[in-house]
Every structure is written in C-alpha cells, then in structure tokens.
Chain A
Amino acid sequence: MHRRDPRAKIAALMVFLVVLATAHRALPAFGLALVLLLSAALIWARLPLFSALARAAIVLPFSLVFAAVCWLSGDPARGFSLLLKSYLSALAVLLVVSTTPFPALLRGLEMSGAPRFLLMVAQFLYRYLFVISEEAQHMSKAAASRGATVGSFVAGRSKGRSARFRAAAGALAVLFARSYGRAEDIHRSMLARGFLGRFQPFGALRFRATDAVFTLFASLAPVLLRAAVERAM
C-alpha cells in the first residue's frame, strides 16, 4: 500500500468518504463492516492497528459537541451517526496519510486538481510545524540546563497561579517570536534561490496498472459492503 501512487489512494479515499457520508440505513452494521475493512487495510500496510484505532479518536472531542447538541434536541440517532462517520473518516484519512510521504501526498492532491494555494499553505504549515518543534526543543534544553522543568512552568508550588501562568505565557510568546524569526530566515533563503511562490515537483509520479487495479478494488470495497449490509438488513 505504501508503494501505490498517491492519486490512487486519494481517489479511493474520496469514494470511501462519499459512500460513508451518504449512508443512512443500518449504520451500526455498516460502521462495523467499515472498521473491519480499514483494520484489514492497516494490517496490510503493516501499521500498528490499535495505535491507529486510538489515534483516529482524536476527532471525537470535536464531533462529540455536535453529537450532544443532536442528542439534546431529541435526535440521538443523528448524534450517533455523526460520531461514527467522523471517526471512520478520520481513520481512513489516517491510513492514507500514514502510507504516503507528505510531499508525495501534496503532489498527488495537486495533480488531482486541489487548489495550489491551499496546498502551498499546507506545505509551509508542515515545514513550520517542525520549526516550532525545533525551537521548542532548543528552549526546553536551555531551560533545563538552568534547572527548570516543564512542570515548574505549570505546577511549581513556590509561585502563585498567576505568576506560573505569566511565565508559561511568556515562554510561549518567546517560542512564537523565535519561530517567526526562523520562518522569516527560511523564507528569505528560499527567495534567494529563486522561489517564485510555487514548489517545483521533484519526484515524478507514475500511475501504473497496479495502481489502477488498487483504485478499482479499494473504491469498490465500501460500495459493495454498503450494498451487502443494506440488503441483509
């Protein structure tokens, strides 16, 4: 699965999401069938199954709010549907993202017609997340070398709550100011090497026959599952 062309995976993902979003009948059984399908794909891709199932739950706190609103307004089935669909969507996206290098994924999205500006924002965001992470690590080392710990920012007993909050907020502000400065340097060095606002593709994508076969089966699987579950119910 890791070797498949990103466009094949993006196409299969889109079909999966459409099939899931438009399903209304026998949702618990269909949901279970899709969980099994995605679990099989995760195992095939040699990804840690339980870790992936747990990570996809990161979306639940957000959808839980809307599900609670549905439940309070007397429509618990809609709330359940929202939770199930958001979780399965997150799991499917996680599967694609985990089996595709980020630059290849962006290239696949670009060739699939996604807006270039949106993709450039995603690429910068991806790069600058690492910048913030690196700066945070440098600051953490500098603080640790002077006897500070993360806990001392948030849970030190010697200071009042407001003083701790101010210290943590100050550290966060410095982190963002440093990251901003670093990001400016990176952007300057990109401009100095002729960057004109668009990343040029490095690796050419090749859509092979195996990718076509993969797209066909991966797209058909949720369609056939839904047809089978709905007929059985």
Chain B
Amino acid sequence: MPHPLPPGPRPPAPGPRPLSRPLIEVRGLRFCYEDGTRALNGVDFRLERGETVALLGANGSGKTTFVLHLNGLLAGQGSVEICGLPVNRQNIPEIRRKIGLVFQDSESQLFMPTVLEDVAFGPLNSGMSREHAVERALAALETVGMSAAAARAPYHLSAGEKKRVAIAGILAMDPEILVLDEPTTSLDPPGQGALAELLVRLPQPKILATHDVPFARALCDRAVFFQGGVIAAEGPVEDIVIRFGWELALERSKLRR
C-alpha cells in the first residue's frame, strides 16, 4: 500500500545555481570513531537556501555521523560552515540555535517530565524568560498539532506523537535549518503521511537522512547518496534511487509479498 504522502516538491527552476553563500558548506570532512571505524572519508556537501535534501545510503554509510557534525556534536577533520559560521567551540551555541537536529530515536530526545517542559527546554537554554519560553513552546506544539498533550508525560505518547513533540522541541528554538535523522523510523504509514504533511508546511530548508524512498520523493528537491563514508553521487531523488538499485529493491520487496 503506497504511503499517504503529499505530492512531491516542484522541480527547481532551470538556470544557473544561486551565487549566494550556501546555508551549509562542508569540505573534505573525515571522521574516525575511537574503535577505529572510519565513518567519513572526505565528504563535500552544500545546502542552498530553500532546499530540501535527502541523504540516502545503506546502514553504516555515514549519514548519521555526518549530521552529528552539522551542529558540533562530533568534530572531524575538514571544514563545516553553517550560515557562514565555521563549526568551532566559539560558534557552537549560535550554530545550535541555527540547526534544529531531530534524532532518530525520539525517546532519547524527550527527557523532561512533561511535554511542555521538554519543548521549552531549548528556549530556556538560549536564555529566554520562562514566560517567553512557554509561549514559544505552546506555539511550536500548536504547529505540530500537539497542544492537547502539553501537560502529558512524553513516555505516554505514541511513536508518531513523540516524533511530533521532538520536532516541536526543535521548532521552539526557531532554527534556520531542520535536520532530521531517519524521521519515519517506527512510524506507521498514516504517521509517515502526517509527518510528511507537517514537514511540507514548515518553511525551513531541510536535510532528511532516510531510507524511506517514497518519503524522500515526496519531500526532497535532490538527494545525495552516501557509500563508504563519502558522497558517491548526488542529483534528483529519482535518478539516485534508480542509479543505486534502490527502486529495484523496493519493487522486489513488493513482489515477494
């Protein structure tokens, strides 16, 4: 059964790429974990204004390691610039306000006693008064359709609701860029559809690290394909999916059923 997803984004206007500074510019990023696993082997990446980009690739190809570099949670060799700011110790507070990172496991992102306190966690950390932080949190909950859950404990919510609250926690910080790591994991098809509709409504440029090809098709202007810690190819989602045989794999899995 196909996902109840909204229609895909409009194709980008023909012509040369914009000359303005990219929102994210990564050059030659390399990272090796303490156990010796080489996760990134020289990644070059750009995110332009208004773009939504899918990071595709197999498990262990480096997608999550890459997104953790975007707000300084991991620090490898090479350069990462967010809105013109290099990711370094001095700029990290500012960069974490600009990049809203939604983790794969919403359970790990929701740690406060109530939904409202969890969503207000980021604004309070950025120095807002309690009243202003609560106002922001309530507005973010309204955006994701979770206002009714404000006083509930996060661990009582369904997987889809947790994901929405996790996104609200990021939106409350008013980020310039949204980065979502495996956003559709553990969501049922209606939940995936609702999430896609929500993301289409949000005006920020987005990076979606995902295995979900229909989801990427519905939301993304282009895709980059990670393989062995490098970007093996980039282009329209459809081309990338066909080039790396993911379309074939999807069809095979449908036939087996």
Contacts and interface: CB of A to CB of B under 8 A. Distances in A.
Interface stretch (A1-9, A67-75, A149-157, A184-192): A184-192
Query: Most B CB atoms within 10 A — which of A101, A188, A195?
Result: A188
Given A186-B108, A202-B120, A202-B124, A194 B173 contact: yes
Given A186-B111, A202-B120, A191 B105 contact: no
A191 B122 contact: no
A189 B125 contact: no
B97 A194 contact: yes
Contacts of A127: 111
Nearest to B179: A192
Contacts of A185: 103, 105, 108
A196 to B, nearest CB: 6
Interface in B35-75: 68, 71, 73
Given A103-B113, A194-B125, A200-B124, A189 B103 contact: yes
Contacts of B147: none
A173 B207 CA distance: 36
A192 B96 contact: yes
B88 interface: no
**Chain A: interface residue count, which band?**
20 to 34
For the complex, would chain B's binding face be called helix, strand, loop or mixed by DSSP majority?
Answer: helix
A201 B170 CA distance: 19
Query: Most B CB atoms within 10 A — which of A127, A186, A200?
Result: A200
B73 A192 contact: yes
Contacts of A196: 93, 125
B182 interface: no
A224 interface: no
A201 B130 contact: yes
Contacts of B125: 193-196, 200
B108 A194 contact: no
Nearest to A204: B130
A194 B122 contact: yes
Given A195-B121, A196-B93, A202-B124, 20 more contacts: A103-B113, A182-B107, A185-B103, A186-B111, A188-B68, A188-B73, A188-B108, A189-B111, A190-B111, A192-B71, A193-B125, A194-B93, A194-B96, A194-B97, A194-B125, A194-B173, A196-B125, A200-B124, A200-B125, A202-B130
Nearest to A200: B124
Contact of B173 (A186, A193, A202): A193
B10 to A, nearest CB: 31
B169 interface: yes
B37 to A, nearest CB: 15
A61 B40 CA distance: 54
A188 B117 contact: no
Contacts of B77: none
A201 B126 CA distance: 13
